[in-house]
Amino acid sequence: MTRFVGFYACITKTVVASFAGAALAVGSPAGAALGAVGAPPRAEGPNSQIQTAPGTSAAPDVSALSWTVTDVGTGSLLAAKAPHRHLPPASTLKTLFAVALLPQLPATAVHTAVTADLDAVEPGSSLVGVREGTSYTVGDLWRGVFLSSGNDAVHTLARLNGGLQRTLAQMQATAKRLGARDTEVRSPDGFDTPGQYSSAYDLSLIARAGLRNSDFRRYCGTKWAQFPAAGGPDSFGIQNTNRLLVGSHGVEPYPGMIGVKNGYTSEAGNTLVAAATHNGRTILVTIMNPQEGSSNAVYDESRELLDWGFAEAPRAVTAGIVNGSASHGAPRDPHPARHTAAALHASTASGHASSDLARHLGTAAALLALAALPFAVRTARRRRRGSAG
């Protein structure tokens, strides 16, 4: 009898836990968001609603299809529009290329360019001007990537890394490690390629990882350089194409701009990942494909979002943490209780809530049946005894 009571208590506890899980699955979106360690639930479809962290004012209603505003120091996602929408990233994908390859290639290594380095560069690509027979350090080539968005520099580095396929595999593995699950890599440079996409959320994850690397931070913030730096008859000056960093084409430089990466293709439109620091706080904005027609819209809208982020970050209640998903190998956040992102991520939780509901209810039903078994056995024995008497 003692064994039965212990068994029944254990089963009852488990059944209650399963029903509690089911209640969370159908309850407030806060429950679904709380269950995600490191990343908010993924969207089942594009979300066009602007979402802001509790405690903040309304974010600017800019024209971009997708964007995020992140407090880099805390990892808090302050505001977003369609953060997981799959879109072509253009040259902002070079941030993933850099995060994956910077640790692999010594900056001082020297390479003399050959024709094979440039064989895979797509026609119409942006180029820094890598020339066959000219010697470059790996550092020169990285400046060609970050300042001039040179696809020729990207492919030269990819070849030094062991080839295109190895490089693409490393980029995809890096995306997975960071928890960037909205990203599919088909080219190292972001050139429009079928099946290739990323999201504003993922590009924020990748940029945060990059900014923790001193080489990445230095290259993305370099305004001007000689290419190659050693000089010589083939050397020439290059300028960073990020207009918020250098101030050009009618765009004023943004105060405290760290840099990161801009991009453009015919399919992606303009894209930009931009970070700036004021008074010890760093705000990161990712913006994809503004629909307002001006050539500077991506910079104007990024400026609006940066201004909003700096003004609102001190008032924000901690929102979703942009640091990847624990299930995909990213570090676990040491304070999961801070993930109070219900208002910010409510619209992305419903699909996951439905699957959790089915799982919890199924478990509860099976356990209830198991718990009822001893009662059925005892009842049957009593009936047999009664009929025998």
Closest CA to 298 of 48, 23, 49, 64: 64
Q: Is 129 helix (H, G, I), strand (E, B) or coil?
A: coil
User: In angstroms, rounded to a whole number, what is the distance separating the alpha carbons of residues 31 and 85?
Assistant: 23
Residue 204 is a catalytic residue: no
Q: Is 94 a catalytic residue?
A: yes
Pinpoint the alpha helices (H) of the chain.
2-26, 29-34, 94-101, 138-148, 151-160, 164-178, 200-211, 214-220, 243-246, 297-312, 342-345, 350-388
Q: What 3-state DSSP class applies to 342?
A: helix
> What is d(CA 40, CA 325) in angstroms, rounded to the nearest whole number?
8
CA 326 to chain CA centroid, Å, is 13
Q: Is 149 one of the catalytic residues?
A: yes
- Residue of 240, 222, 235, 231 whose CA lies nearest to 131: 235
- CB of 207 closer than 8 Å to CB of 95: yes
User: Within its chain, how far is the Cα of 358 from the centroid?
Assistant: 29
Residue bearing tokens 């209603």 = 61
Q: Is 140 helix (H, G, I), strand (E, B) or coil?
A: helix
CA–CA gap between residue 150 and residue 144 (Å, rounded): 5
Strand partners, 265: 269
Q: Which contiguous run of DSSP H or E holds residue 270?
A: strand 269-278
Instruction: Assess contact for 243 and 251: CB atoms under 8 A.
Output: yes
Number of H-type helices and E-type strands within the chain: 12, 10
Query: Is cis: bond before 228, omega within 30 of 0?
Result: yes
**Nearest in space to 302 (alpha carbons), one of 264, 272, 265:** 272
Catalytic residue among 149, 198, 199, 204: 149
Considering 18, 81, 94, 148, which one is annotated as catalytic? 94
Among the listed residues 18, 66, 76, 91, the single catalytic one is 91
Q: Is the peptide bond before 54 cis (omega within 30 degrees of 0)?
A: no
Catalytic residue annotation: 91, 94, 149
